[in-house]
Amino acid sequence: MLRFLLWDFKRASWQYDVMVGLILAFIFFTPRSWFRDQPRAKSVVMLPAEHGAQVFWIEPDLLAATPEPGRPARAQQLIHSQSAGKKHTLVRLEPIFDEEKEIRGYMAFARP
């Protein structure tokens, strides 16, 4: 067991091949949930809202290259492309910060 732990086998020996096989089996057959590695949502997501308003979550990467004054217009374009051509009027765009004051995303409030 100590030889397995210290990887004390010559290359191309059957013990070496068994170790490589075990590593590959671990990589390919381990469930994704063990590592909390879940697929990410779309870049623009419509969230549930009340009173007929519509709220969208926008990933920060989509607006990072846009200067501050142009962000509402770019957010309007992203919302329009996400909502299958339905017209929405952007009411406000709020950045969402984390504990370190880094932007985690934007909440875009729109009305039809």
For β-strands 103-111 and 54-58, DSSP reports them as: antiparallel
> Which residue bears the tokens 């909502």?
83
Write down the pLDDT at residue 25.
95
Both tokens of 60, joined, read 């920060």
9's CB contacts (< 8 A; 6+ apart) are: 3, 15, 16, 19
**Cα 6 vs. chain centroid, distance in angstroms?**
37
Backbone torsion region of residue 92, taken as left when φ is above 0, otherwise alpha when ψ lies between -120 and 50, otherwise beta: beta
User: What mean pLDDT comes out for the span 78-99?
Assistant: 82
What residues pair up with 56 in beta bridges, in sequence order? 46, 108
Both tokens of 34, joined, read 């063990």
Write down the pLDDT at residue 40.
62
What's the pLDDT tens digit per position in 20-79?
Answer: 999 999 999 988 778 776 666 557 777 777 776 788 888 888 888 888 888 998 888 888
Write down the pLDDT at residue 38.
64
Q: Any long-range contacts for 69-77 (C-beta under 8 Å, 24+ apart)?
A: 71/106, 75/106, 75/108
